[in-house]
Amino acid sequence: MPLHGTAAWRPEGPLATLLFRRYGDDARTILQLISWEPALGEVVIEGQPYVGAEFVYGVTNEMATSLTDLLTRRTRAHLHDARATRRAARNIANIVASYAGWDSQEIDLQVSAYEKLVESELSAAGLAL
């Protein structure tokens, strides 16, 4: 039985290769999102290679229901650089809002919850924001 995410398709180009390494054959779904909405192909966190479509994919295909889930588990952005991810959190929430069914109030709640997590973790480690 073949493993999910494996197929004969192989990526062409740096973005497709990066996505293929993360998502296997499911990278094609993310690339399709980018073809429909090219802005989703832009990097959204300074210094990290995550594009907007990866967060949309997390909401639409991986059952992510919170911004914190997207940033800590569906991607590893939080682990790589929590400060940079915190700075990008509102932008990412805005990108996924229509897919997640979030209004402006929910966006504010999601961003606030993530910011509190970052502040708590950095504070516990004796680190500044």
| Residues facing 51 on adjacent strands | 43
pLDDT tens figures, 49-100: 999 999 999 999 999 999 999 999 999 999 999 999 999 999 999 999 999 9
Q: Where are the alpha helices (DSSP H) in 8-103?
A: 14-23, 27-36, 52-61, 67-69, 77-80, 82-100
Residue 60 CB neighbour total at 10 angstroms: 15
Cα separation, 97 vs 48, whole angstroms: 21
Would you identify the CATH topology of the domain 14-124?
A: Helicase, Ruva Protein; domain 3 (1.10.8)
Please report, for the chain, the start and end positions of each structural domain, with discontinuous segments joined by +. 14-124
pLDDT tens figures, 90-111: 999 999 999 999 999 999 999 9
| Cβ proximity of 88 and 44 under 8 Å | yes
